[in-house]
Copies of this chain bind each other. A is one copy, B any other.
Amino acid sequence: MSKNIIVGVIGAGRIGKIHIENLLRKVPNVKLKIVADVNVDNQLKQWADDMGVPQLITDANEIFTDPEIDAIIIASSTDTHIKFIQDAAIAKKHVFCEKPIDTELKRIRETLKIVKKEGIKLMVGFNRRFDRNFIRVHEAVSSGQIGTPQIIKITSRDPSPPPIEYIKVSGGIFIDMTIHDWDMARYQAKSEVVEVYASGAVLVDPEIGEVGDIDTAVAILKFKNGALGIIDNTRQAVYGYDQRVEVFGSKGCVMADNEATNTVRLYTAECTNIDKIPYFFLERYMESYATELKSFFDCLKNNQDPTPSGEDGLQNVLVAIAAQKSFKENRPVKISEVDI
Q: List the interface of chain A (C-beta within 8 A of B).
A: 25-26, 28, 50, 132-133, 136-137, 140, 145-146, 148, 150-151, 153, 155, 157, 197, 199-201, 203-204, 216, 218-220, 222, 226-228, 230, 232, 234, 236-240, 242, 248, 250-277, 330-332
Q: Which residues of B contact A155 (CB under 8 A)?
A: 153
- How many copies are assembled? 4
Main secondary structure on A side of the interface with B: mixed
A75 to chain B, nearest CB (A): 21
CB within 8 Å for A248 and B237 given contacts A199-B197, A331-B332:
yes
Beta-carbon contact of A271 and B267 below 8 Å: no
A157 to B139, CA, bound (A): 23
Please, which residues of chain B bring their CB within 8 A of the CB of A50?
Answer: 28
Q: How far apart sit A228 and B219, CA to CA, in the bound complex (Å)?
A: 11
Q: Give the distance in Å from the alpha carbon of A277 to the alpha carbon of B220 in the complex.
A: 27
A218 interface neighbour in B133, B228, B266, Cβ under 8 Å: B228
Nearest-CB residue, chain B, relative to A223: B201
Verify A271–B276 contact, CB threshold 8 A: yes
A28 and chain B: residue at smallest CB distance: B50
Contact of A273 among B151, B234, B273, B330 (CB under 8 A): B273
Whole-angstrom distance between the Cβ of A231 and the nearest chain B Cβ? 8
Distance from A222 Cβ to chain B, minimum over Cβ atoms (Å): 7
What's the Cα separation between A220 and B236 when bound, in Å? 20
Decide if A230 touches B228 in the complex (CB within 8 Å): no
- Within the complex, what minimum Cβ distance (angstroms) separates A267 from chain B? 4
- 11 CB contacts below 8 A, A to B, read A140-B264, A150-B204, A151-B232, A197-B220, A200-B228, A238-B269, A254-B264, A255-B264, A256-B263, A257-B265, A331-B331
CA distance A157 to B216 in the complex (A): 25
- Residue in chain B with minimal CB distance to A150: B203
Q: How far is the CB of A120 from chain B (nearest CB, A)?
A: 28
| A264 lies within 8 A of B133 (CB) | yes
Q: A199 to chain B: which residues have CB within 8 Å? A: 197, 220, 222, 228, 332
Residues from chain B with a CB closer than 8 A to the CB of A332 are: 197, 199, 330-331
